[in-house]
Amino acid sequence: MRYVKSLHPRRNMLISRFKTCSSGIKVKLFRSFLYNAFDCYLWSTYKQYKHKRVVVGFNNIYRNLFGILWGESLSAIYVNNKIDSFAVLVRKNVYSFKTRLGATSNLLVQCIVSSLFYYHSSCCARWTKIFDFIICL
């Protein structure tokens, strides 16, 4: 996964250049550099351990940038700084993509989305796991 490989240079650049900035600036930098998980809604063919590597890398960058100790819980700190966890980012991206698919006026995309191939695809299965309460389009 290219996203995992791109996390390390981003981490090194953020920490080396901006470790002395205020917390508000670090939050904005973190959002701008790490919230762009492009095409994460299409990561259906990757194994769970590869997704876990992305989550661990995401969390490690946050820990290193904000100087959080390894024993501390990130959940409360994410909430205090109004930062979304990686699972929330993926959920938002999947929801946004599914909404755009459902609202498209492109006839070809509408034909694909209404086909059985779409309903039995690995992407739709993964999206159903993420949103078990939402039925695939």
Is the pLDDT confidence value at 93 over 60?
yes
Total of domains in the chain? 2
More confident residue, 58 or 105: 105
In a domain, 56, yes or no: yes
Backbone phi, psi, residue 30, to 5°: -60, -45
Work out the average pLDDT over 18-47. 77
Is there a single domain that holds both residue 107 and residue 71? no
24: in domain: yes
What's the pLDDT at 135? 47
E-only strand ranges, the chain: none
Q: Are residues 59 and 11 in the same domain?
A: yes
Average pLDDT over residues 103-119: 86
Provide the percentage of residues in the chain whose pLDDT is more than 70: 83
Rounded to the nearest 10 degrees, how much is the dihedral formed by the CA atoms of 51, 53, 59, 61?
-130
137 in any annotated domain? no
- Position 119 scores a pLDDT of 79
Co-location of 76 and 100 in the same domain:
no
Q: What pLDDT band is residue 3 in, cutting at 50, 70 and 90? A: low
Return the pLDDT at 44. 62
Q: Are residues 79 and 98 in the same domain?
A: no
Q: Containing domain of residue 38, as a range? A: 2-84
